[in-house]
Chain A
């Protein structure tokens, strides 16, 4: 079971690379923010999977912190970008 959970974690992280390519290609601000948000969610999923795979409940606290702070970061992105002096 541990190996299966790790394999899924690896799969989700592999998708992360695809998501990153999307950030690279992303032309608009909105696209980049979406990719960043997907990365946050994937990171949280990978943490939950690893926590169960290695039976370390403290890792779930990291996921909890990330859930709150990644939310804060993506909201900071979305709200501060309208306040910029230049839009590239």
Chain B
């Protein structure tokens, strides 16, 4: 009984810590997007929110999800990794083309 309580408490603490970490990276990404001087550094800030922000949030939620659902959460994160890295490269190329005009 007691060990079960400790496990539940540990799960709560784990979720609070990791999800807070994730929220912090979202904050960092947004601040970077607003404050950084040029497009490529802003892109760098953005990818932190994509990778680590969503990653930590997803990680923190995993203990609350049963088998299939946990798998889906991981899938969501992996999909975002795939697409955001591709989109980032396309955006960087666009920024490169845009710069002479700016």
Distance A72 CA – B72 CA, assembled complex (angstroms): 19
Distance A35 CA – B87 CA, assembled complex (angstroms): 12
A–B complex contacts, Cβ < 8 Å, 24 sampled: A1-B15, A4-B16, A5-B61, A11-B26, A15-B26, A15-B30, A18-B31, A19-B33, A21-B34, A30-B94, A33-B94, A34-B39, A34-B43, A37-B91, A38-B30, A49-B61, A57-B66, A67-B79, A68-B79, A70-B83, A71-B83, A74-B83, A74-B87, A75-B86
Binding site for A on B (CB under 8 A): 12, 15-16, 19-20, 22-23, 26-27, 29-31, 33-34, 39, 42-43, 46, 49-50, 53-54, 57-58, 61, 64-66, 69, 72-73, 75-76, 79-80, 82-84, 86-88, 90-95, 97-98, 101-102
On whether the beta carbons of A78 and B30 are closer than 8 Å, the reply is no
On whether the beta carbons of A34 and B54 are closer than 8 Å, the reply is no
Contacts of A51 in B (CB 8 A): 61
> Which one of A27, A57, A74 lies within 8 Å of B65 (CB-CB)?
A57
Contacts of B43 in A (CB 8 A): 30, 34
Interface bits A64-86 vs B (CB < 8 Å: 1, else 0): 10011011101100110110000
On whether the beta carbons of A75 and B90 are closer than 8 Å, the reply is yes
- Size range of the interface on A? 35 or more
- Please judge, given known A-B contacts A11-B23, A28-B102, whether A52 and B61 are in contact too, CB under 8 Å: yes
Chain A residue nearest in CB terms to B43: A34
On whether the beta carbons of B73 and A60 are closer than 8 Å, the reply is yes
On whether the beta carbons of A45 and B87 are closer than 8 Å, the reply is no
On whether the beta carbons of A71 and B80 are closer than 8 Å, the reply is yes
On whether the beta carbons of B76 and A67 are closer than 8 Å, the reply is yes
Distance A57 CA – B73 CA, assembled complex (angstroms): 10
